[in-house]
Chains A and B, each alone.
Chain A
Amino acid sequence: MKLILDAEKCTGCKICELACSAKHQGVFNPKKAHLRINDNYTETGRETRLKSCTLCLKCVETCPAEAITFNGKWLVIDDGLCTGCGDCVDVCPEGVIFLNSEGMAAIPNFCEGNPFCIEWCPQEALYKEEDVA
């Protein structure tokens, strides 16, 4: 499954990022969220974009300990195998993998099917790909 952003509805409030880091890491820190909203003004206009797991599986391929797998729907990490090397953090093209407070890889998993960010978005701008008609 993947997340879709309706950029026109998105206001760039970042409540989704805060909800994610709060739920999974127990803290408020956008840099510890598994999705990022880039909503920036530039000299040519405004860009609003979602960064989130696209299931490119580069982290799965890269992990030297083979700690990350794909179960057909989302990523799964075996904490026992993870060595905290950080290769997955570097290779993720969306920038949504990071090392948690224990130095272990924090991997996005769409909250196992019920994304917290979707629940929290006050503008209802986030969807599951399968829910878009």
Chain B
Amino acid sequence: MSYRWKILRVNLSTGSVAKEPLNKGWTEKYFGGRGLGAKYLYEELGGGVEPLSPENKLILVTGPLTGTIVPCSGKLAIISKSPATGIILDCAIGGSFAAQLKFAGYDMLIVEGQAEKPVYLAINDDDVEIRSAAHLWGKGIFETESRLHDEHGMEAVVLSIGPAGENLIPFACIGSEYYRQAGRGGIGSVMGSKRLKAIVCSGSKDVIVPDMPRLLELVRKAIREDVLTDTNLWAHIGGTPTIVEMSNSSGVFPTRNYQDGVFEGAQKINADSIRKLRPHKKACFACALGCGNYLCIADSTVEGPEYETLALTGANCGVDDLGAIVRFNADCDDLGIDTISLGNVLGFAMEMTEKGMRDFGIRFGDVETYLKMPRLVAYRAGVGKELSRGVKQLAKTYGGAEFAMQVKGLELPGYDPRGSWAMGLAYATAARGGCHMSAWPVADEAFGKLDPFTIEGKAQLVITGQHYNAIKFSLILCDFWALSMGTMSEMVSCVLGREISVAELAKAGERIWNLLRLFNVREGFKAADDTLPARVFKDPLKSGTPAGRVLPRDQFDSMLREYYQLRGWDSNGAPTPEKLKELEM
């Protein structure tokens, strides 16, 4: 069985390290990853916990597929309560930490409390120590990793925060293997608030499955026939930058703070411009695709930039200088800052400055000032002191809420909802706020055959996508393997040695989704929070396919009403008792 049936629980206030049994019944309902982590967080936190207080918990979770040869199973889920939004925060990070945690003998790590002084956690199979991080505090993620590798060996995998997390920036991230992040919602600041600088993990225990020959046969076939196919190979050939030209030609590429959806500089920051730098591809643990682009340009090195970074710190800031974006990206990775949120913050600041509403000292395309921003924000220095508050808070103080592009306090990712109406619903209803990892209907609309400018059938489209991702990110499988529910069922049934049907997985997906919602309802969530910035409803796009379009408010409201109805939720967007009973919650 690939579960360890073991939780590692570390309390940084008391210094205690405990090993506890994993709840078997909950694994049958929630499996692992996003679902199981959310269940533990929901049960262990009451409502109203301050995200940066010792009462918040950081839950790092693997899934039943972690540590096996099932392809694209390398991710780790990290669940907490967000300092930016005050609601659930379900992050994921690639690389190999998840596998090492499983090889060390644990399904899950729960970090509680708060250390008096900076510490790091060292896990080596059964040996778990809380150690002083005095020599690491203040350092960037790159140097922190390097130092911890010197101490613990190159095979140990490190999760760490940089100055942004130490300084409790609401969009600080957790980094690993230099260039991978659990990016959003200030997850890095939850670690920072606990004075936990890093977690190092090394494992040497076997992961066992009931029928190894059958699993090898299944996976061998799947890699050949289902992973390395046209549907998924875009990730290896080009990687996420492939999406730049797709967004730009369908008019949803966020440009100059979402003032438009077509960027005249897109060709300078597209997949071609990156391919010319001859990247060395990088994969997460057990991934047959390998989407990472490790490259060097003008003395800056990064594994990236990913599509979201090219969109939000490129087009959204009016920057088409790829070298500058790479430099900016590397700095954010080292300081530990979410590029999606920072790109939005800068776009907002640029528009406010240009409109004369508030001079933040930066304009669209001002590369020189732009390059200074990650550091200013990470240290809350100069204008960074204000910018580090995020767009929602900035708009509260200075105005401009109509074009503060955020939902529930989480800045929007790189697809303009005016050009893809179902994506608008996805942003509005994602559990952690303005997020593209709940569902990604832009693939069916802007990049596909469905009419983007109608609400018909869109509520169901988003619901199906949300359930699919919810179970997928609980097993845990990566986004980029577009496998069917049938294949998911085959893989997890073989690994667990019992039949888990598509219907059971789909129900689990819905259950997980409702659980995330319950968490938010307990935090005082209201239906009015399922909304979009006014710009989306009022300012028409100017270029490309969606030229002249907004997402009309009344259409959005209808779509949302239908969404609640189809979900069996009440008009406050809360799961009804009947729905919870149906889902055996």
The interface of chain A, by Cβ under 8 A from chain B, is 8, 11-15, 18-19, 21-23, 25-32, 38-43, 45-46, 48, 101, 120, 122-123
Contacts and interface: CB of A to CB of B under 8 A. Distances in A.
Contact of A43 (B142, B204, B206, B209): B142
A13 B223 contact: no
Contact of B285 (A14, A27, A45): A14
Nearest to A47: B154
B179 interface: yes
B40 interface: no
B202 to A, nearest CB: 9
Contact of A12 (B69, B228, B282): B282
Contacts of B287: 11, 13
Interface in B262-307: 280-290, 292, 294, 296, 301, 303
B301 A13 contact: no
A15 B206 contact: no
Contacts, number: 88
Given A15-B286, A40-B154, A122 B228 contact: yes
A11 B303 CA distance: 12
B291 to A, nearest CB: 9
A15 B281 contact: no
Interface in B48-79: 67-69, 71
B433 to A, nearest CB: 31
B286 A45 contact: no
A23 B215 CA distance: 11
Contacts of A45: 296, 301
Interface in B181-233: 204-209, 212, 216, 220, 223, 227-228
B432 to A, nearest CB: 28
B206 A32 contact: yes
9 contacts: A13-B284, A13-B290, A21-B206, A23-B216, A29-B204, A40-B154, A43-B143, A46-B294, A122-B227
A96 to B, nearest CB: 14
A28 B228 contact: no
Contacts of A43: 142-143, 146
Interface in B352-370: none
Given A13-B287, A19-B69, A122-B288, A30 B103 contact: yes
B328 interface: no
A41 B69 contact: no
B71 to A, nearest CB: 8
B177 A120 contact: no
Contacts of A27: 206-208, 212
B290 A123 contact: yes
B178 interface: yes
B68 A28 contact: yes
Contacts of A30: 103
A28 B203 CA distance: 12
B204 A31 contact: yes
A48 to B, nearest CB: 8
A29 B208 CA distance: 9
List the 9 shortest-distance A-B pairs measured between CB atoms, nearest first: A11-B290, A11-B283, A27-B206, A13-B283, A122-B288, A28-B207, A41-B178, A18-B69, A29-B206
Contacts of B145: 41
Nearest to B204: A31
Contact of B205 (A11, A18, A23, A29): A29
Given A28-B209, A41-B303, 20 more contacts: A11-B282, A11-B283, A12-B283, A13-B283, A13-B285, A13-B287, A15-B69, A19-B216, A22-B69, A23-B216, A28-B69, A29-B206, A31-B103, A31-B204, A41-B178, A41-B294, A46-B280, A46-B282, A122-B290, A123-B281
A28 B204 contact: no
Contacts of A42: 146
A41 B179 contact: yes
Contacts of A32: 206
A22 B216 contact: yes
B295 to A, nearest CB: 10
Contacts of A14: 96, 285-286
A23 B285 CA distance: 18
Contacts of B96: 14
Contacts of B146: 42-43
Contacts of A23: 216
Contacts of A22: 69, 212, 216
Nearest to A122: B288
Contacts of B216: 19, 22-23
Contacts of B292: 11
Contacts of A28: 67-69, 206-209
A25 B205 CA distance: 12
Contacts of B294: 41, 46
A14 B223 CA distance: 14
B103 A13 contact: no
B177 A8 contact: no
A120 B227 CA distance: 13
Interface centre among A12, A18, A29 (most CB of B within 10 A): A12
A18 B282 contact: no
A94 to B, nearest CB: 14
Nearest to A48: B280
Q: Which one of A19, A40, A41, A120 has the greatest number of beta carbons of chain B within 10 Å?
A: A41
Nearest to B67: A28
Given A19-B69, A46-B294, A29 B207 contact: yes
Nearest to B212: A26
B223 A122 contact: yes
Contacts of B296: 45
